[in-house]
Amino acid sequence: MKFWQAKIFRLAFFTPFIIQALLISIFSTQISVSPTFSGGVLPGFYKIAHLGAYMMWCYLGLWALHKSNRLTKQTSKYLLFLCAFYGFLMETVQYLFFPERFFEKNDILANVIGVFLGQQLFYFFKKN
């Protein structure tokens, strides 16, 4: 395999991670839900959705690093920081640019918990 083919092959592992980031961005900026909305949805549903989205995103990032032989303690820490910071950034973007959206500390907390659960899930499956 040629050098450039190997690079493209390794980058392909990051496709699910990038798609998940795009989905998070779309859902964070396009779908408006008031924090007082009850509409038949289970209480806490949106926090669980935040947690699940960021858990999956972190897992996919760690998986991509692992498959591309780039997973180290340092790259893992960078990825965790990136995912958690992105959650904070999305809440800030909602507050600044989308008047119908809200900046919620509990969403940030759910995002960060999701990131760490994604890390734990990845290392659990990697070990087994």
Domain chopping of the chain, boundaries: 3-29+40-127
What Cα–Cα distance (Å) separates residue 16 from each residue in 20, 27, 44, 97?
Answer: 6, 16, 27, 27
Residue 104 has pLDDT above 90, yes or no: no
Percentage of the chain beyond pLDDT 90 is: 64
The pTM of the full predicted model, rounded to 2 decimals, is: 0.85
41 or 46, which is more confident = 46
Q: Specify the range with the lowest mean pLDDT, choosing from 4-8, 63-67, 121-125.
A: 4-8
What Cα–Cα distance (Å) separates residue 106 from each residue in 32, 77, 92, 110, 113?
Answer: 16, 23, 13, 6, 10
Place of tokens 């779309």: 26
pLDDT of residue 38: 46
116 or 4, which is more confident = 116
What Cα–Cα distance (Å) separates residue 78 from each residue in 1, 35, 43, 62?
Answer: 30, 31, 33, 10
pLDDT average, residue stretch 32-42:
53
Name the average pLDDT for the chain: 87
Residue 80 has pLDDT above 50, yes or no: yes
